[in-house]
Structure 1
């Protein structure tokens, strides 16, 4: 029989063949199989070696085995989980990574790609998705390299004023207003002080001294000053000749400020004796100092032919004789008007 294998066409044993013939056929087939296996192994070894070489590449001698690589990675069987947790923790500790991840969403990376770097230049945003370069001087770099705010202030030569906030309160730095002038601030004019203003509007920090009822909560410093002054009277007393003082208002939430409208101001006598008996903020009506007017008597002629009587030329005080009325509705000196305002 001449049966052969389907792949290599090798003669196969057959019952009709003699034992010697089949033995020869088997020997031949085994020899060819052995040769095929040898050829296959010879082809596989170089390919495997090439693949391993490519995998290791130019790794240093200390990392050219799997054991060495595992040791370098801490022999951590869950390395991927460990790295993920570590990265997540870093991102949670700072918003910078999140901020950087937003750059691409608004086209900022494209804008960055359009810049041409140069020495002493830094990029800054001029608008969303628009970048430009600015010059960073040596002093600017040195300032940015300062360890902290104290070092920055020292580098700039700033004193302790740099630590103060701008404003009009205690320990503030006062700024000029829009007109380039100092604003009215606490300490410039003490609370409770009256000033004269050439206008009809009270400046910032002042109230018109017009006898208005004021909420104590709206002017706590002025209410404290009024109490300390010792001149807080009742509403009834205020309306009965004490309009230059403060009133206690509703005794709970309000108080009344002095009313200086239309009045002349007189300095408190304060023990001198010129205007004794006056209280601070007390009102006083106009008045004349007590005096007399003398009437000069001349010659009287008797028109009926009687004797003439003549005075000696001296002056006589005559009762019941008055001059004609003259003047206005009040007694006053020359004056100008200004708006009285009180610091609160």
Structure 2
């Protein structure tokens, strides 16, 4: 039996030879091929094929050794990547992902965007083919409105004036004629404006409504020839009113005419059936009076009467002093005492009928 471990390999030469055909009459023999000696013919074809194998192996190894991984700077073999989310720089995109990119990307020519596409906003003064964003347009519109003449100070008016009008110049002229200048306008008709809040003190236009309600300050008392107070006024009837609703009036008079409930209300002046007297305010004629205080009736008066019987040459002049206590003290100015025939009168300083001539009006207070 042949020991395979002891068999020597055929010599391999890096050659590319034609494979010979064994002809009739050749006697195959073992060993190394030597065609001249007709030796080793049994291994002749195998030896040539082995040479071809070595020839190919040498070149394949050289090719493999020459191949490197591809990168952005080196040409070589790359791995295919079938995802659009990879950040690899040494892998190639598959055809499938290339198609996906094609279907989800807009073409450069006449793209039809979807969703909410965005772009960098150009400077306001830009005048190129750069995309105009909404922010750019808004800025240009604002600049256009601010720079438009006073007669066409809104974009809507400007757009209306710029319509498909064959007589544009005439239309604009007529539109301007209907507008008032910003400086010293001479308005006609019955122009209106928002009525300012009560107590407003600013350059805001004062409407007739505001003037009628605010020309007098809160706390002013006036008499009206009417049965109900006008707008902006309350009756001087001593009523308790809200400190919040009538905050301006409360700030003006406080609790001078009564504290109300002491927390949320205060009292109005009570002027019904009363005569109004000026506050002394330090003069000394009516000393001790404070704002909002009242006085009862008080009088010291002299009543002169004539005697019922006068002797010749005498005049019955009788003077009676009537103090506030209604107790009178008579004396005779002529030196004679009054007798039973004299007239004796009593004068009272108070009573339901003690009054001067007067006119009844409705006292109201401005709030």
TM-score (norm 2): 0.43
Higher-Rg member (1/2)? 2
TM-score (norm 1): 0.45
Higher RCO, 1 vs 2 (CA within 8 Å, ≥6 residues apart): 1
More helix by share: 1
